[in-house]
């Protein structure tokens, strides 16, 4: 006799992405209004802030603004200590920054009804979100992305994690934030390099989802490079929308082995590692997209005109299509190892998103090493002609 108990669970996740400026101005009630649904009369919820060090240095009055903003609130207790951690991939490479956040959660008794708020680029959001997700089996977390890349892509998703065993995002969770606030003012202090790097993710989602958006991006190169705020706001909003729509309508918790939004990423993750993370994620994604677009062309999936349009757009935005670290044969061999690492991270069979035309992707389950190397050679020649390989410096 067989006895079986069957359980069905349905969990509904909902969060909003708000677009604003001067989030902690006393004249801007958005942050408080968004949290009211989580507050109950007579209760006091704590706020623990984790801040990207680069943001802290670029906005030295930020902490004072926050203190003033929350000083009149009776249902929210702002923890005096603000956890300042470095930005960039280095913050995910060492567990000590994760440990610092978890320690603060413990010391200040931040419970599951309180909030961990991360302000910074994608890496800071990743590590803070992971710390919140695993503490007490899940503390509510809020994201305030401060880079183009985190506002138009990573910051509006549901993934958190840190690097381990030398592998990107080996430890992590799927834990949706309760709210995301894209504050354009933070972008005004970005370096030119970070301003440009984040555009790669907008190009990526256009390539696999929306040909009209790709055409729009081609028309906006000059305004974006001149830091036209209205155009950049439109770019970020549209990219964020397309990323969120895919997450909702696809496989949000990645139970399968397909990740279309990771177009160009199998090699990008490895390129970051090979450069010891001196190449920014957005720059590595640009190289990865150039590689997979060229590979798609060599296999006959993608037309030559579309391939050249993609490479030209990346270059017009000042994004790299190749880098000198990929020249040695030994490095190329290590790059190819990224395919198996990507498969392992996804689970199941290898699944890579390629292109059959702009706006339309095609999934394949094998990649031919000789054609990848041929595509790299073509990109190296292109980089030599346009000198784009020197736009992303790596120092050893």
Q: How far is CA 246 from CA 94, 179, 206, 241, 324, in A?
A: 31, 18, 12, 9, 34
DSSP H or E run through 119? strand 115-120
Domain with CATH 3.40.50.1970 in the chain: 16-189
Report domain 192-391's class.
mainly alpha
* DSSP summary character for residue 157: S
| Neighbouring residues of 302: CB distance < 8 A, sequence distance ≥ 6 | 293, 296, 354, 355, 356, 357
What's the rounded Cα separation, in Å, for the pair 17 and 37?
Answer: 15
Nearest-10 Cα torsion for 319, 325, 327, 328: -170
Token code pair at residue 185: 């003012």
pLDDT in tens, 242-291: 999 988 877 777 776 567 788 999 999 999 999 999 999 999 999 999 99
The packing angle between helices 95-107 and 122-134, to 10°, is: 50
What's the rounded Cα separation, in Å, for the pair 242 and 353?
Answer: 17
pLDDT digit of tens for each residue in the chain (396 aa)?
A: 789 999 998 888 889 999 999 999 999 999 999 999 999 888 899 999 999 999 999 999 999 999 999 998 889 999 999 999 999 998 999 999 999 999 999 999 999 999 999 999 999 999 999 999 999 999 999 999 999 999 999 898 889 999 998 888 899 999 999 999 999 999 999 999 999 999 999 999 999 999 999 999 999 999 999 999 999 999 999 999 999 998 887 777 777 656 778 899 999 999 999 999 999 999 999 999 999 999 999 999 999 999 999 999 999 999 999 999 999 999 999 999 999 988 887 777 899 999 999 999 999 999 999 999 999 999 999 888 865 333 444 332
pLDDT in tens, 141-190: 999 999 999 999 989 888 999 999 888 889 999 999 999 999 999 999 99
**How far apart are the two ends of the chain, measured CA to CA in Å?**
67
Could you give the 3-state DSSP secondary structure of residue 223? helix
- Given CATH 3.40.50.1970, say whether it is the number of domain 16-189: yes
Residue 141's DSSP bridge partners are 116
Domain with CATH 1.20.1090.10 in the chain: 192-391
């Amino acid at each position: 006799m067989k006895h079986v108990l069957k359980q069905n669970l349905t969990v509904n996740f909902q969060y909003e992405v708000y677009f604003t400026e001067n989030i902690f101005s006393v004249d801007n009630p958005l942050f408080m209004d968004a949290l009211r649904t989580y507050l109950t009369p007579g209760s006091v919820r704590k706020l623990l802030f984790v801040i990207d060090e680069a943001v802290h240095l670029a906005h030295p009055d930020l902490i004072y603004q926050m203190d003033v903003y929350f000083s009149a609130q009776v249902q929210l207790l702002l923890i005096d200590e603000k956890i300042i951690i470095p930005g960039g991939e280095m913050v995910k490479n060492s567990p000590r920054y994760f440990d610092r956040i978890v320690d603060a959660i413990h010391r200040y008794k931040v419970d599951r009804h309180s909030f961990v708020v991360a302000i910074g680029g994608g890496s800071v959001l990743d590590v803070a979100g992971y710390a919140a997700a695993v503490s007490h089996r899940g503390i509510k977390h809020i994201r305030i992305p401060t880079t183009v890349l985190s506002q138009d892509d990573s910051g509006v998703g549901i993934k958190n994690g840190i690097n381990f065993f030398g592998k990107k995002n080996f430890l992590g969770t799927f834990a949706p934030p309760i709210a995301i606030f894209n504050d354009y003012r933070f972008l005004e202090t970005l370096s030119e390099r970070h301003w440009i790097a984040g555009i790669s993710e907008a190009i990526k989602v256009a390539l696999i989802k929306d040909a009209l958006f790709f055409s729009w991006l081609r028309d906006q190169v000059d305004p974006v490079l001149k830091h036209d705020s209205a155009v950049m706001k439109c770019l970020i909003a549209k990219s964020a929308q397309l990323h969120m729509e895919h997450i909702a309508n696809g496989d949000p918790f990645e139970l399968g082995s397909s990740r279309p939004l990771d177009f160009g990423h199998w090699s990008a993750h490895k390129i970051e590692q090979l450069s010891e993370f001196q190449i920014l994620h957005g720059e590595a994604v640009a190289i990865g997209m150039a590689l997979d677009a060229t590979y798609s062309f060599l296999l006959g999936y993608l037309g030559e005109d579309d391939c050249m349009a993609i490479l030209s757009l990346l270059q017009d935005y000042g994004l790299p299509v190749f880098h000198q670290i990929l020249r040695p044969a030994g490095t190329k061999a290590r790059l190819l190892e990224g395919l198996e690492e990507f498969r392992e991270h996804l689970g199941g069979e290898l699944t890579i998103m390629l292109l059959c035309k702009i706006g339309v992707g095609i999934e394949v389950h094998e990649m031919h090493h000789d054609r990848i190397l041929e595509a790299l050679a073509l990109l190296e020649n292109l980089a030599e002609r346009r000198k784009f390989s020197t736009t992303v410096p790596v120092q050893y």
